[in-house]
Structure 1
Amino acid sequence: MLKKIALSCLALTMCSTLAAGEQSQMRKKVAIITNFSETDAAAHSLVKNFTDTLEMSTPRNIAFQHDYYWAGGNIDAAKSHAKRIVSSQPDAIFAATTPVVRALLQETKTIPIVFATVADPVGSGFVENLAAPGKNVSGFINSEGSIAGKWVQYLKELVPGMSCVSMMYNPNTAPYYKYYVSPFEETARSMNMISALSPVADEKAIETAIGALSSKKCGLVLMNDSFNFIHRRTISSVSERNGVPVAAYNKATTQDEALVAYGPEEADAYKKAAGYVRKILDGAQVGKLPVQLNTHFYLSVNMQKAKKLGIQIPDSFLSRVDEEVE
């Protein structure tokens, strides 16, 4: 009889322990939204840096539900996704690119938002200042406006005879475009080049803009804009067909349309953003987490593109390159 009672007590203890374990398993919902295309492998790779880092930094008693939203460069889709996300009341939101952050902030002033691939959060009205954002949002800036001057310098170095240069962007997806314009124009002027702006909104406009540059023998600079990222393969084929050399802002663009690219290692920002989300889930106030600038920048050149354009890359340039894309 005593043996049966002991076994019963043991069984009850085990059941109680299991029940407690189940109760201690906390579930957290993190919504992930970008203005990139769902079919874009490069975009998925960036987002995976965020999710993998978040999972690895989390204790075993916490399980995540990740909800993914891809706006695909469509502002209306971004707004629709933002409404759906806020109505689902996630514990935190990770937002990549300016358009989706803007859409989210129109829907919530309380749910914590951590961003990456955003250019000018102060000028865009997202945060009060970088050191103390003060609202429900913080994150990582991909580059400062001065980087536009670097794009012009590198393109001119590779194409010394170039006498004019234009910068392409979509005003709808890059409402911060003025952030880059002054450094772009000032650098072009200092190098005795005529500068122009090429605002575009669709692929037909891309073809028209690049065709006009070809007749003037101009170069093209791509602003850090999700529209340019989404349409990078179209830009690649059209610019190559028209013999227009392109300077851009990240590794993915060098692998597609750009002759040369200089910009941040965006994967770093996505990993660091996961760290911010982890802190928020632990109780940190997002408005007290400083906005940070990417610190790891790289220079890459597309050797195959150079060959197709008949451009000889000098050894002095190659000695400074972080990556040669073949």
Structure 2
Amino acid sequence: MRRRDFIQGITAVSAAWPLVARTQQLPAQPLIGFLSTRSPEEAAIHTSAFRRGLEEMGYIEGRSVAVEYRWAKGDYSQLPPLVADLQSRPLSVIVATGDPAAHAVRAAGFATPVVFIVGQDPVRTGLVASMNRPGRATGVNFFTADLGGKRLELLCTFVPSAHVIGLLNNPSFGMEAVDQFRQSVAAAAQSLGRELVVQSASTDAEIDSGFAALIKAGVTALVMQNDPFFDSRRSRIIAVSSRYRLPGIFHIREFPADGGLMSYGASLADTYRQVGVYAGKILRGAKSDDLPVLRPTKFELVVNIQTAKALGLTVPQSILIAADELIE
């Protein structure tokens, strides 16, 4: 080897040493475990909102933070193995979206701080010690279970001719939550002089057969329980509703945005953003016990005008005035 080539080789290797050393000294990205009861495709708009919340706290996925996603796809029996898989990871925080996911994490005894989205009261269900000093888990109480009666009132205003109302629920979500929602809707139905027909569905086949049973029972309008399984089957539910020309009210705007008639509830996208902010705060050193459980303060009424026209419905003036968003 010529002396000049040898010196150039040594110089190149020497120049690379500081780069190798710098690479080895870079701290590892914090890792978030993201456990969802839903499906990645239909939840895409909400996971994007979660990332926006992280970015508000200075964390960009793939650059300054890593996220391990696990999806139950509406099958709650898959949650325990998904939780066990996440437990084997070096997590800095775990995000659990949906009541079944939050309770699966709690049952597993996670030592990692938890940020959740739940619809049920987290104090009553044992997720937290209190709303203000929640303990190792905190997050957002989506607070939709108590809105069943209000949804029925809005639906009857929109479709005054509907005297037999269907309620679609999912027993797999938890009987306490199912009963609470049913009681809220049943009380409103009684006060409005409507008959309520309750139908359960926990699988795709039961969604199809459940709608057929409701139609056979004379149901002419639908209230649906808020449930991640139903969220994960949003396209199917809207398609079946359209086939039977059955007007329905749902709990999040994504249903009327995708072709359902109307919704009333808090913004789920903003809830996911808030969860991202809380996860970022914990990564920055905040203690979950110092982050009170949040509740939405604004509820939005969303109406799909095109769907109303397709169903042959005229939107009442009171609904037009009350609506926060009209989808043309």
TM over 0.5: yes
User: What's 1:102 paired with?
Assistant: 103
The one of 226, 237, 255 equivalent to 2:239 is 237
Per-residue CA distance 1:290-321 (angstroms, 9 max, x = gap): 21111232111112221222111123321221
User: What's 2:184 paired with?
Assistant: 183
**Could you tell me how far 1:207 is from its partner in structure 2?**
2.3
Check conservation: 2:103, 2:127, Cα contact below 8 A: yes
User: What's 1:272 paired with?
Assistant: 274
| Counterpart residue identity of residue 75, structure 1 | Y
User: What's 1:139 paired with?
Assistant: 139
**Could you tell me how far 1:255 is from its partner in structure 2?**
2.2
User: What's 1:261 paired with?
Assistant: 263
**Could you tell me how far 1:164 is from its partner in structure 2?**
2.2
Per-residue CA distance 1:126-162 (angstroms, 9 max, x = gap): 123322223x211101124321111101110011121
User: What's 1:282 paired with?
Assistant: 284
Asked which structure has the greater RCO (Cα within 8 Å, sep 6+), the reply is: 2
Check conservation: 1:165, 1:218, Cα contact below 8 A: yes
The one of 308, 311, 314 equivalent to 1:312 is 314
User: What's 1:163 paired with?
Assistant: 163
Per-residue CA distance 1:241-280 (angstroms, 9 max, x = gap): 2222111011111123531101111121111112211222
User: What's 1:75 paired with?
Assistant: 76
Q: Identity percentage over the alignment?
A: 27
Check conservation: 1:169, 1:227, Cα contact below 8 A: no
- Mapping for residues 1-326 of structure 1, pairs under 5 Å: 23=25, 25=27, 27-40=29-42, 43-58=43-58, 63-134=64-135, 136-175=136-175, 176-215=177-216, 216-256=218-258, 258-326=260-328
Q: 2:158 & 2:100 partners in 1: Cα distance?
A: 33
Scaled by the length of structure 1, what TM-score is found?
A: 0.86
Check conservation: 2:37, 2:74, Cα contact below 8 A: yes
| Counterpart residue identity of residue 73, structure 1 | G
Change (3 A) 1:248 1:129: same
Gaps of 5+ in 2: 1-13
Number of positions where the alignment pairs a residue of Structure 1 with one of Structure 2: 309
- SS of 1:261's partner is strand
Q: 1:53 & 1:229 partners in 2: Cα distance?
A: 22
| Counterpart residue identity of residue 183, structure 1 | S
Q: 1:233 & 1:274 partners in 2: Cα distance?
A: 26
Give the CA RMSD over aligned residues: 2.4
Scaled by the length of structure 2, what TM-score is found?
A: 0.86
Q: 1:114 & 1:93 partners in 2: Cα distance?
A: 6
User: What's 1:3 paired with?
Assistant: none
Per-residue CA distance 1:93-112 (angstroms, 9 max, x = gap): 11111111121112224211
**Could you tell me how far 1:187 is from its partner in structure 2?**
1.0
